[in-house]
Chains A and B, each alone.
Chain A
Amino acid sequence: MIYFDNAASSPLREEVKAILREELELFANPSSLHEAGFAAEKRMKAARENVAKALNAKAEEIVFTSGGTEADNLAVLSAAKKMRRRGNRILTSDAEHPAVSECMKQLSEEGFEIVTLSTRGGRIDPSEAARLTDEKTALCAVMHTNNETGAVFDIPAVCRAVKEKNPHCLTFSDGVQGFFHRPLCPERLGLDLFSISSHKVHGPKGVGALWVKKGLQLSPRLLGGGQERGLRNGTENLSGIVGFGEACRVGASAMQEDIARMEEIRSYLLKELAPFSRVIPNLPAEASCHVLSLQVEGFRSEVLLHSLSARGIFVSSGSACSSHKGKSPVLKNFGLSDRESDRTVRLSFSGLNTVAEAAEFVKVLKEIAKL
């Protein structure tokens, strides 16, 4: 199996599997006062520190959630609610994941004015962000790295532009695809809120986190027993959190090597496929090391995907989440025609992939597409 669909979900690291096996035997509630509960709390604390370290952040700034979607919802909806009295304008991009864009739809129905930045060519113009920000702008929500094209947006410049025009405006970025694909520190990016997910970085599914800048008070979406400093109530998914922590611990020390590996694979593919005029990469202004979006002329993406799948190579057409919902607007907003979107496949890598796998992919693609 050659797995080039890591942006959809990634395999567990061996270290993560090992710690999850230990977790199977442990079950106490971290809120319980007895010894077993205290031990659970300590494991959670260690995990929180590991996640915080991976973001160059403080442990108390990490709020564990059920995943990227919940972290996105919590950030956008709670920030909008908090800022409502200051203004009802929200700045966002036209390439957001549905976990953010669907929140925008709901907020728009509730009376917020949603202003959208173009991501044509995989680029956001910070001066446009400045132009569209005014004293009524309550929140700026622009993703860090796009899941379909791998475009990395210039978050520091966008945040600077927005905060210069309106220092009260909160800034949030969906960092699910950016996390561990370059060194990140949300505070230095100029952010107030930043979401991440465990299963995109070799951790278990069902857990993610929202980084909330120290001092920022938000209200919860789920009410209950006061867990996660009252911002995310409900008994913690402890085994998931511990697995996530381990993925962050190992991931942080492997990050440089992993990024180098992904960059190597990506540039290898670009070089090897360059001679074939029927293979057209969709290249954003600045690309993440882990995504390569390609058009293959003469193939609808699902057809190519099924043919590759039959040969044990797993890639994606568009983003996995959008396969439930028909066409995603992201490729169109990137600047592709319907026809070009229809024949776009996405390869996404992790540090566990190898150049040899990329070579095998090229060989199989040549056979299937008769390049």
Chain B
Amino acid sequence: MTEKRSILLKYGELILKGDNKSYFDAQLLRQIRKKLKPLGEFRVFTSQSTVFVESEDDGALEAALPVLQRVFGIVSLSIAWRVEKNMDAILEAVEKKIAPQLVGARSFKADARRSDKKFPLKSPEIAREVGARVLSTLGGRAPKVDVHHPQETCWVEIREDFAYVHAKKLPGAGGMPYGTGGRCLLMLSGGIDSPVAGWRMAKRGAFVDALHFESFPYTSERAKEKVMDLARKLCAYTETMNFASIRMTDIQLRMQEVCREELFTILLRRSMMRLACRVARRQACGAIVTGESLGQVASQTMAALATTDAVADLPVFRPLIGMDKEEIVATSRAIDCFETSILPFEDCCTVFTPRHPKLNPTMEEVLEEEAKLPMAELEDEAFRAIEFVRIDK
């Protein structure tokens, strides 16, 4: 038996796309090819809602798996054995390669699909023989057969050139191919939430650029480096990222001089939002993304969010708005950001944090406080000093 393996990638909701499907397909393939390029030579093609990834180099194929698990637009992956289109070869692969994978499963079924209708057996007949071979190979160790809700499915797919046999499915990243959902600007801090928000948008297919606000010397260069490390982590899912940073120190110091302390955070958030919209427009981003979650802190009450939204002239997406901290932390861990997010840095921006922030600010009082400062002028100055870095993995 020749041991050729392929990775089969299954689409998620892309199948549901109508006339635009070819565009989404093309984006997905482009992504896959790009991510695989550093790993070696691969053949990547689609056939009937499945992407096939093949390589002469078995090691490269092995290395490709974890990379493909991070490509958005793929719901599941499996390693299939590629064999001659005859029942002997298929059953040999089932016996040697597939049956051992099923040991320990509660239940299984065999299923078959036949795109080559000239194959002598029909799909149910193939499935029956495959199931029987699994049972005879494993004997007492065989899982029980359950055709309705099996834990594992042993698949045989008869395609144009070869038959593919596979069982265990690995989870994919889900979502939509990166870049099919427009471009957005993520307000990225060094915390746990904002990287997760960025990841969620990337998962829905958006290009993600990042904007970071710093308060040097009240925050350190190391703290900023940590934010860039988080951006690099996100690049494992996206591609490269435009990373901008704006220094807010002067604005904060001026606020501290003349504004009411309880409104510092709200006033700062509004200022950041105005600046974010300016950056977004310059980079052709169609929306702002934040990691806010309702009620998490004082500036994330409904009233506070309303006052920040009031200055935005682009849609503001908050993918975490209805999520609990626990859920956010779980995602943060899953995307490998958590350990970086919780790194401590001597951070002194607490100097500007009000002791008792206002939970329900009214628009009138916010406007009144804001009018005490030449905001437009201060923001112009901050915007002029913006710094850009291009980040990749």
A interface, CB within 8 angstroms of B: 300, 302-307, 309-310, 317, 323
Contacts and interface: CB of A to CB of B under 8 A. Distances in A.
Given A300-B351, A302-B220, 5 more contacts: A303-B217, A303-B351, A305-B217, A309-B221, A310-B216
A309 B218 CA distance: 12
Contacts of A323: 346
Kindly name the residue among A300, A306, A310, A317 whose own CB sees the greatest number of chain B CB atoms within 10 A: A306
A325 B127 CA distance: 62
24 contacts: A300-B348, A300-B351, A302-B217, A302-B220, A302-B346, A302-B348, A303-B217, A303-B218, A303-B348, A303-B351, A304-B217, A305-B217, A306-B216, A306-B217, A306-B218, A306-B220, A306-B221, A307-B217, A309-B217, A309-B221, A310-B216, A310-B217, A317-B346, A323-B346
Contacts of A310: 216-217
Nearest to B218: A303
Contacts of A303: 217-218, 348, 351
B310 to A, nearest CB: 32
Nearest to A310: B217
A307 B348 CA distance: 12
Contacts of A309: 217, 221
Kindly name the residue among B220, B221, B346, B351 whose own CB sees the greatest number of chain A CB atoms within 10 A: B346
A118 B343 CA distance: 34
A69 B164 CA distance: 61
Contacts of B348: 300, 302-303
Contacts of A302: 217, 220, 346, 348
Nearest to B216: A306
For the complex of A and B, the 7 pairs showing the least CB-CB separation, nearest first, are: A306-B217, A307-B217, A302-B346, A303-B217, A300-B348, A303-B348, A302-B348
Contacts of B220: 302, 306
A307 B216 CA distance: 8
Interface residues of B, number: 8
A306 B224 CA distance: 13
Contacts of A305: 217
A302 B351 CA distance: 12
A306 B348 CA distance: 11
A182 to B, nearest CB: 32
B342 to A, nearest CB: 14
A354 to B, nearest CB: 25
Contacts of A304: 217
B252 to A, nearest CB: 12
Interface string B347-379: 010010000000000000000000000000000
A342 to B, nearest CB: 10
Interface string B329-351: 00000000000000000101001
A136 to B, nearest CB: 41
A300 B352 CA distance: 13
A303 B217 CA distance: 5
Interface string B206-229: 000000000011101100000000
A300 B348 CA distance: 8
Nearest to B344: A326
Nearest to B217: A306
Nearest to B220: A306
Nearest to A306: B217
A302 B217 CA distance: 8
Contacts of B218: 303, 306
A304 B220 CA distance: 11
A122 to B, nearest CB: 25
Nearest to B346: A302
Nearest to B350: A300
Contacts of B221: 306, 309
B86 to A, nearest CB: 62
Contacts of B216: 306, 310
B197 to A, nearest CB: 28
A307 B217 CA distance: 5
A267 to B, nearest CB: 29
Contacts of A307: 217
Contacts of B217: 302-307, 309-310
Contacts of B346: 302, 317, 323
A179 to B, nearest CB: 29
A175 B218 CA distance: 35
Contacts of A306: 216-218, 220-221
A303 B216 CA distance: 8
A269 to B, nearest CB: 21
B351 to A, nearest CB: 7
Contacts of B351: 300, 303
A20 to B, nearest CB: 29
A300 B351 CA distance: 9
Nearest to A342: B348
B154 to A, nearest CB: 53
A305 B220 CA distance: 9
A323 B220 CA distance: 13
Contacts of A317: 346
A327 to B, nearest CB: 11
A128 to B, nearest CB: 35
A314 B207 CA distance: 40
A302 B216 CA distance: 10
B20 to A, nearest CB: 50
B257 to A, nearest CB: 14
A203 to B, nearest CB: 27
Nearest to A307: B217
A306 to B, nearest CB: 3
Interface in B211-265: 216-218, 220-221
A14 B24 CA distance: 62
Contacts of A300: 348, 351
A309 B346 CA distance: 15
A313 to B, nearest CB: 12
B355 to A, nearest CB: 16
A303 B347 CA distance: 9
Interface string B256-290: 00000000000000000000000000000000000
A300 to B, nearest CB: 5
A306 B218 CA distance: 8
